[in-house]
Amino acid sequence: MMRLMSLFFALLFFALLFFSTAFAQKKEIRQARSDIKKKTNLENAEASMRNLLKDSSNIYNEKIYVTLADAVRAQYEAENEKLYLKAQADTAKFFNTARRMFHAYESLDSIDMIPDKKGRIRLNYRKKNAEYLNKYRSNLYNGGLYFAKKADYDAAYGMFDTYIDTRRQPLFTDYPTYNVDSLYIKSAFWAVFCGYKVNRADSVLRYSDLALQDKKYRRRTFMYLSDAYLWKKDTAKYVETLRTGFNENMTSKFFFGRLMDYYNSKNRLDSARKVVDAALMCDSNNGLFLFAKSNLLLNMGRYPECIAISDTLIARNDTIADVYLNAGVSYINMALALEADAKSKKKNRKKILDCYKKALPYMERYRELAPDKKENWAQSLYNIYLRLNMGRKFEEVSGILKKMRR
């Protein structure tokens, strides 16, 4: 008997708790509806509905979703009116409210799509909500640009992300202008840009395929995309992206430089040669490409060709230090190669000395232009002065080397 009484009181307690909670909830919704009608305490009305949705028992409560959407809409319209009347308005608040409004109506639409007990879907809100929201979709894009200009890239990304997402939301499926949207691809590029600015590889990659459809920003998208793969340590995709970017933009310093750096670091000289030759086919007088070709020829041991290109570059501009270095090192390497042949060393003595003599002005000029880069010129000048019996200069450079080795 006592057990039955305990069970009865327990059930009574839970029943009272349920009805009490339900009553409080209805009261909260009524208060929110009243505030929306009066256009007061709108933020509190929104917060109240969001708090109710934290309760899993309310996850399918249509009234809460409707009230939430209306509360955010009322805030949006209030901020919009301030901007229209050029009153004191919070622009950031306006755009953030717009984004919340879209999310709120999209959530309502997902509830609106739930079949009834007979399996029927009665869309009670979609048409009017889609028609209303579509008038303001561009404000999501504008909000993204606003936050991007303010360097608030996280907020900007959120706006562009929401704008793009509206295209896949069932809420807008039947709307007549759904597929006519010039800002869609632009939003994708700016989302990629914002993801890049905050160093989030996944945010860059998410809309990269869509962003690549924008011809105006396609080159920049490849640039951001290559860095994203670099951050993810996906070398294959990194190089593939650089290759595609280079093939479409062969005069781009970015793609050219990155590819040359990669191939040279991996000693893939033949791949590097193909890149530099392709670039020179597009612009045979480009100083950067010619200098890269001279570097490559030096690494390949094709010294006379390296010297010839270096001389061409010096004739144009005699203040670029590394051009002199390439030519000087080429002559030194030619001399060392002749010295390494023991059988012909005596026979080639004149040629060897001639190489050192030719290297001398290049290396001395390099020293003048890059005095702090002793590691590049000190040992080379030491060898030249030694071979050419230039005592005073030899002693001076010998002293520099001793200090470097301490």
Residue 57 falls inside a structural domain? yes
Residue with token string 């570059």: 313
**Structural domain total, the chain:** 2
Query: DSSP H helical segments within 1-56, as ranges?
Result: 2-38, 42-53
101 is a domain residue = yes
Local confidence band at 364 (pLDDT 50, 70, 90 cut-offs): very high
CA gap 365, 324 in Å, rounded: 7
Q: Which residues 6+ apart lie within 8 Å of 321 measured at CB?
A: 366, 369, 370, 373
- Tokens 């009181």 correspond to 9
Mean pLDDT of the chain: 91
Of 396, 395, 327, the residue nearest 366 (C-alpha): 327
Give 85's contacts (C-beta < 8 A, 6+ positions apart): none
**Residue 174 and residue 305 in one domain:** no
Mean pLDDT of the region 151-165 = 97
Please give the Cα distance from 75 to 93 (Å, whole number). Answer: 10
Report whether pLDDT(39) > 70: yes
Query: In 3D, which of 198, 197, 144, 199 has the Cα closest to residue 166?
Result: 144
Angle between helices 91-112 and 126-134 (to 10 degrees): 160
Q: Tell me the percentage of the chain whose pLDDT exceeds 90.
A: 82
Q: What is the pLDDT of residues 369-389, one digit of tens each?
A: 999 999 999 999 999 999 999
Structure token digits, residue 169: 């939301």
For residue 143, being part of any structural domain is answered with: yes
Long-range (24+ apart) CB contacts under 8 A made by 306-312 are 306/330, 307/331, 310/362
Flag whether pLDDT at 82 surpasses 80: yes
Q: Which of 172-178's residues contact partners 24+ apart within 8 Å by CB, and which partners?
A: 172/130, 172/133, 172/134, 174/126, 174/127, 174/130, 175/130, 175/131, 175/134, 177/134
CB 255, CB 242: distance < 8 Å: yes
Query: What long-range pairs does 370-375 form, CB within 8 A, spacing at least 24?
Result: 370/321, 370/322, 370/325, 373/321, 374/400, 374/404, 375/404
Q: Which of 181, 210, 229 is the last residue of a domain?
A: 181
* Inside any domain, residue 206: no
Tell me the angle at which helices 183-197 and 218-231 cross, rounded to the nearest 10 degrees.
40
Domain interval for residue 338: 301-406
**Domain end position, chosen among 181, 202, 224:** 181
174 confidence band (pLDDT: 50, 70, 90): confident
Residue 338 lies in a domain: yes
**Which domain CATH number covers 331?**
1.25.40
Tokens representing residue 388 in the block = 């050419």
Among 166, 181, 196, identify where a domain stops: 181
Position of tokens 């396609």?
218
- Please give the Cα distance from 98 to 105 (Å, whole number): 11
Residue among 173, 233, 171, 177 nearest 201 (CA): 233
CB 70 within 8 A of CB 76: no
Scan for tokens 């009305």, then name that residue.
Answer: 45
What pLDDT, in 10s, does the model give residues 274-290?
999 999 999 999 999 99
Q: What is the pLDDT of residues 177-226, one digit of tens each?
A: 444 467 899 999 999 999 999 999 999 999 999 999 999 999 999 999 99
Res. 64: pLDDT tops 90 = yes
Answer whether residue 61 is part of any domain. yes
191, 160 contact by CB (below 8 A): yes
The CB density around residue 49, as the number of other CB atoms within 10 Å, is 25
Q: How far apart are CA 65 and CA 32, in angstroms?
A: 12
Q: Considering the domain boundaries, does residue 186 fall inside one?
A: no
- Does residue 394 lie within any of the structural domains? yes
C-alpha–C-alpha distance, residues 361 and 382, integer Å: 14
Q: What is the structure's pLDDT at 3?
A: 57
Three-class SS of residue 336?
A: helix
| Backbone dihedral region for residue 31 (phi beyond 0: left; psi -120 to 50: alpha; all else: beta) | alpha
Which among 281, 311, 279 is positioned nearest to 294, based on CA atoms?
Answer: 311
**In this structure, what DSSP letter does residue 123 have?**
-
